[in-house]
A and B are shown apart, each in its own frame.
Chain A
Amino acid sequence: MGNHIEITADNAKANLEVFSSTLQELAENDRDILAVTSDSRGSGKLVPFAKKYPKQIIEVGIAEQVLVGVAAGLASTGKKTFAVSPACFLAARSFEQIKNDVAYSDNPVKLIGISAGVSYGALGSTHHSLHDYAALRAINNLIIVAPADNFETEQAIRQASQINKPFYLRFGKKPMPLLTEDKENTFEFGKGRVIAKGKDLAIIATGETVYPALQAAKKLKEEHNIEATVVSMHTIKPLDYNLLKSLSNEVGAIITVEEHSVYGGLGEACASFLLENQFHKPFKIVGIPDEYTVTGSQTEILNHYGISEDGLTETALQLIKKL
């Protein structure tokens, strides 16, 4: 860790692929591992899983309410149940099942929101999940996680399978470079990972937006001599308040970044904590504004709204000017 920022792009896989291969490995040694799908085995990269462990996949068809209800019933018997569906449907169509059957009844289902955020790009708003953090944060007894890279995804799936609590994990389907090769930079739910350290500002990002944040930090250092801390805040709930508190003292400004509406997500979660803890420095939430997104690929949409190396660099420069 330090000012030297290295991004490893070799062998980058989609977090989705890491999820499916990790789940398959876990299933090999544990017959209680189950995937429950809503015609989503293809989009969830679970076809090899289904072929290898046909008794460990429960297909319910395109029916997200029963997907989550059935998963909760299975989990109540001790099955390590992963309910896999596109995040846009999982966090909306089955919202009441998540609230009641999973969280309230404390059935430890792992809800896997695939192709999250604007992964589906030009397919449009029906297929975007820009509401899931906001909606699910208000539900008690649900851990919300957006892993940034392949390492975080593998760790999140492995560790969640061992924790007898409800989880919502979401990720996309584009290849994600490794954020760091520092083996001591471990993954633990509820603890943000500091990927780079700098005194001028902190960029707190979650999920696949950590990567452009790290790229921006590199550019800020190289072209503007601005030193940025970059945090992968993979666990959106419970939020790492200790890290936020120390960052609020250490840096001159804070930017949050998420592939989500600017309403109700990581940014507002950080803002409310910081405001209640006397943080009175420049602060900016970067996400998707309250509008139906511009048409485009995922990359085009994210670039359009400044969730990119250049966009975040520009936001940081604007914010620093306010110092």
Chain B
Amino acid sequence: MNQNLLIEKSNQYRQKILKYIVGANAGHTGGSLSSIDIINVLYNEVLNVSPETFASPDRDRYIQSKGHCVEALFVVLADVGFFPEDDLNSLCKYKSHYIGHPTRKIKGVEQNTGALGHGLPLAVGTAIAAKLDDKDYRVFTLLGDGELPEGSNWEAALTGAHYKLDNLCAIIDKNTLQISGPTADVCNTDPVDTKFESFGWAVKHVNGNDVKALQEAFASLPFEKGKPNLIIAHTVKGKGVSFMENQLNWHHGVPNKEQYAQAIEELTAAANK
């Protein structure tokens, strides 16, 4: 897919994320907006998976460890045809299957996530299975920088390197903010790159809100034979809406009517540029 189309899609996705968060009166706005370019590029460019091939044992897997940014995942899954977008009108509503975290009740979702620190171990197990079966599929997992203190991530970092999982790619959505403050203040995990490198991973930094940079990073996988891959995606929390960018209160803030109108106006103007 060409870059202009990907950029256009990211813009549309951002508008839809806000629409369905407003509809649900709940959601993780800032992180969905920071991570949407990554999920966009994965599903429209990288992953060998579609609604038709979702049951195939050879499909690529995407596991969203930062499950709370489900709105970003759902708008992309709808767009690539896993379910009708109208379904998202029921997001977080009574008796809906579309809850505030990924669940396998929704076609396209690989694992039920929501508790943090679970995606990487699951992805490691799935990638080991590919190696055991000599299959070519790859496994991707998206983590938030705020979930890195979960010890299970570091257990999995060891295991992934031990099994030389170059078919595994973890992406950290490094938007540098978490619910109670800047990640560096809450529990500083920097330097993340050298930590993972010392564990035996091959690491690349990328602008995580630049689809071209993301395309190039994914195209260069595996970064090094025999090593699991980590992409540290530097992103802006609330990206695309001026008053949400880098603002802690938009971690799970829901726009009111005026804020929503302004956000859509800004995004529409950006799309028309």
Take A66-B121, A100-B112, A106-B104 as given contacts and tell me if A73 and B128 are in contact as well, using a CB distance cutoff of 8 Å: yes
Q: Once the chains bind, are B132 and A72 in contact (CB under 8 Å)?
A: no
B residues 113-130 in Cβ contact with A at 8 Å: 113-115, 117-118, 120-130
Q: Which residues of A contact B133 (CB under 8 A)?
A: 77
A41 to B128: give the CA distance in the assembly, Å.
19
A residues 212-268 in Cβ contact with B at 8 Å: none
Take A65-B152, A70-B156, A105-B104 as given contacts and tell me if A76 and B122 are in contact as well, using a CB distance cutoff of 8 Å: yes
**Shortest distance between the CB of B173 and any CB in chain A (Å):** 20
Contact of A55 among B113, B132, B162 (CB under 8 A): B132
- Specify the chain B residue showing the minimal Cβ separation from A96: B115
Q: Which residues of A contact B158 (CB under 8 A)?
A: 61, 63, 66
Q: Once the chains bind, are B121 and A101 in contact (CB under 8 Å)?
A: yes
The answer to whether B11 has its CB under 8 Å from any CB of chain A is no
Q: Once the chains bind, are B125 and A105 in contact (CB under 8 Å)?
A: no
A169 to B123: give the CA distance in the assembly, Å.
25
A residues 46-72 in Cβ contact with B at 8 Å: 55, 58, 60-61, 63, 65-66, 68-72
- Specify the chain A residue showing the minimal Cβ separation from B130: A77
Q: Which residues of A contact B129 (CB under 8 A)?
A: 73-74, 76-79
Q: Once the chains bind, are A101 and B118 in contact (CB under 8 Å)?
A: yes
A residues 166-196 in Cβ contact with B at 8 Å: none
Q: Which residues of A contact B104 (CB under 8 A)?
A: 105-106
The answer to whether A119 has its CB under 8 Å from any CB of chain B is no
Chain A interface, DSSP helix/strand/loop, else mixed: helix
The answer to whether A97 has its CB under 8 Å from any CB of chain B is yes
Q: Once the chains bind, are B123 and A97 in contact (CB under 8 Å)?
A: no
Take A55-B132, A101-B118, A106-B104 as given contacts and tell me if A71 and B155 are in contact as well, using a CB distance cutoff of 8 Å: no
Take A58-B128, A69-B121 as given contacts and tell me if A105 and B155 are in contact as well, using a CB distance cutoff of 8 Å: no
A residues 66-98 in Cβ contact with B at 8 Å: 66, 68-79, 96-97
A-contact 0/1 string along B89-114, CB 8 Å cutoff: 00000000000000010000011111
**Shortest distance between the CB of B262 and any CB in chain A (Å):** 38
The answer to whether A273 has its CB under 8 Å from any CB of chain B is no
Q: Once the chains bind, are A72 and B57 in contact (CB under 8 Å)?
A: no
A75 to B110: give the CA distance in the assembly, Å.
12
A106 to B122: give the CA distance in the assembly, Å.
13
27 contacts between A and B (CB under 8 A): A60-B155, A60-B162, A61-B162, A63-B158, A65-B155, A66-B158, A68-B121, A69-B122, A70-B125, A70-B128, A72-B111, A72-B121, A73-B124, A74-B125, A74-B126, A74-B128, A76-B122, A76-B125, A76-B129, A77-B130, A96-B115, A100-B114, A101-B111, A101-B118, A101-B121, A101-B122, A105-B111
Given A68-B121, A70-B159, 13 additional A-B pairs, CB 8 A:
A34-B132, A63-B159, A65-B121, A65-B151, A65-B155, A66-B152, A66-B155, A66-B159, A69-B118, A69-B120, A69-B152, A70-B122, A104-B112
A residues near B, CB below 8 A? 34, 55, 58, 60-61, 63, 65-66, 68-79, 96-97, 100-101, 104-107
B residues near A, CB below 8 A? 57, 104, 110-115, 117-118, 120-130, 132-133, 151-152, 155-156, 158-159, 162-163
In the A-B complex, list the 4 residue pairs whose CB atoms are closest, starting with the nearest: A73-B125, A69-B121, A70-B125, A66-B155
